[in-house]
Amino acid sequence: MLQEFHEKHYLADRMVLLGLDVDHDALVRHGETLNLGKGAGPANTASKFHSGELRHDTTGYEAYVAIAAESAPGSNVKEAVANMLLQQILGTAPKVRYSQGQGKLQNAIASQSGAQTVSGLNYTYSDAGLTGAFIASDTCSLGEVSKDNLQSSSDCKRLQCFSAGCVQSGSCSQIC
């Protein structure tokens, strides 16, 4: 299966051979030994979003939850930038151990006890996007952390409208 995929997609027309500080003739000889197929290969197909739920129960003391939804593709620049701005408003996990992160999601869990962290997430590709939040917590406090973040994310629609308006108007001087 993997070899079949490789033969179908790794073709000479889709690759570049780059050499730095290498004799050109030596690089050409090396390129000729690669035995790559010819042709353009199959056309790229657009990514499709499939929602769902996946649970993997363990006996550990840590839990991880991702809550996300389909968002704008990179080809829609205004919406993609708005989603990147939304991720920053939601916040990111701490970059330094034992410190506190920043953003709306971190503020929502600040009063919770136990080990937890939350972070906005945003993945933007040319034909699809994914925006949401990631929660990591000890299993004892996960319910409260998730509840607080879901309540906090009720502001999400308002923030999305704000971020889209911010990008369109070019003025981001006031958040909430």
**CATH number for region 62-169:** 3.30.830.10
Q: Which tens digits make up the pLDDT trace of 12-66?
A: 888 888 889 999 999 989 888 888 888 888 887 777 777 777 777 777 778 888 8
Asked whether the CA dihedral 77, 79, 147, 55 is positive or negative, the reply is: negative
Domain boundaries along the sequence of the chain: 2-32, 62-169
Triad 139, 109, 63: Cα angle to 5° = 20
Q: Which tens digits make up the pLDDT trace of 115-138?
A: 678 888 999 988 889 998 888 877
Would you state the structure tokens that stand for residue 127, as one six-digit string? 């034909």
Q: Which tens digits make up the pLDDT trace of 60-115?
A: 778 888 888 889 898 999 999 999 998 888 888 777 777 777 788 777 777 766 66
Q: Which residue has the tokens 């996990």?
A: 93
Is the model's pLDDT at 169 over the cut of 50?
no
- Residue 150's pLDDT band (cuts 50, 70, 90): low
Percent of the chain whose predicted confidence (pLDDT) is above 90: 8
Looking at residue 158, what is its pLDDT? 43
| pTM of the predicted protein model | 0.57
